[in-house]
Amino acid sequence: MLKATIDADILKESIDAISALVTECRLHTDENGISTRAVDTANVAMVSLSLKKEAFSSFESTKSELGLDIAKLKNIFGMMGKNEPISLELPDNGQKLRVSFEGYRYSITLLDPNTIRKDPNPPSIDLPGRVVLSGADLYNSIKAAAVVSDKIALGIDPAQQIFYMAAEGDTDHIRKEFGKNEVTFLKNVEARSLFSLDYLKDMGKVMSRAEEVEISIGIDHPVKFAFYIAGGKGYVEYLLAPRIEAD
């Protein structure tokens, strides 16, 4: 059983964060809120999202697992007004999630959770470098890199206290450096890894709304992006595997 009301903007923000990587997911609900964890089909990226019950204007739920077709749910976002209250309702053992707003009653058949990939276990990895920067700055760098290449290097130069991104095209390359004024260095440790921009562009768009994104990074290791959504009442982590630097 689920019976909740949520602001349209928070719902969209949360669903967008998941849909950057997957089109369906297992959504866990209990009396404290909802959460999900999913990896993309290529096993390259993982998203974890949790939304406390405080992120909802009203929330009541038993412990359950829902198979959610995210792509279908996104279809109706265009109909929702900004800041409109959206009501979500699922009866006990119900197979259809009812989404109501503004005289509309949208009903979506849930997927059998068993047909969706099991929740992945987060890998235990040590990512020694850690910086915090604005999501907008991060996304702008990603977009800039995408102009010349399909890969981006992210790194920390501890001697110069610089967090940088760099991308190499065939005949041109681009580099952007962030100094102490733009970045908070939680752990100023040497790091550099290469990532696919395909993934980063989608994640970056979501992160661009976050005031602060905490980036954990190593040497030829995955990168972790962590940020709050829903005014601090929701939390998202992205984990992205590195690409091998071939040259």
> By C-beta, is 67 or 158 nearer to its own copies?
67
Which residue number, 118 or 175, has a Cβ lying nearer to its own copies?
175
Sheet holding 184-187, edge to edge: 64-69, 24-30, 33-39, 45-52, 234-240, 223-229, 213-217, 129-133, 184-187
- For the bound state, the minimum distance from the C-beta of residue 180 to its own copies, rounded and expressed in Å, comes to 13
What are the residues binding its own copies (CB under 8 A)? 69, 72, 75-76, 78-79, 103-109, 140, 143-144, 147-148, 169, 171-178, 182
Least distance (Å) from its own copies to the CB of residue 111? 8
Q: How far apart are CA 212 and CA 133, in angstroms?
A: 5
User: In the complex with its own copies, which residue's Cβ is closer, 55 or 148?
Assistant: 148
Q: Give min distance, CB of 72 to its own copies, in A.
A: 5
Residue 139 near residue 207 (C-beta atoms within 8 A): yes
CB of 179 to its own copies, least distance (A): 8
Contact 146, 157 (CB under 8 A): no
Instruction: Choose between 179 and 232: whose C-beta lies nearer to its own copies.
Output: 179
Residue 83: strand, helix, or coil: coil
Q: How near is the Cβ of 194 to its own copies at its closest, in Å?
A: 18
Cα Dmax for the chain: 60
Terminus-to-terminus CA distance in the chain, angstroms? 55
Residue 152 and residue 167 in contact, taking contact as beta carbons nearer than 8 Å: yes
The least distance separating its own copies from the CB of residue 40, rounded to whole angstroms, comes to: 22
Please tell me the distance from the alpha carbon of residue 120 to that of residue 130, in angstroms, as a whole number. 24
The torsion defined by the Cα of 22, 24, 25 and 31, in degrees rounded to 10, comes to 120
Confirm if 142 and 204 have CB atoms less than 8 A apart. Answer: yes
Contact 85, 5 (CB under 8 A): yes
Decide whether 62 or 75 has the Cβ nearer to its own copies.
75
Nearer to its own copies, 124 or 171 (CB): 171
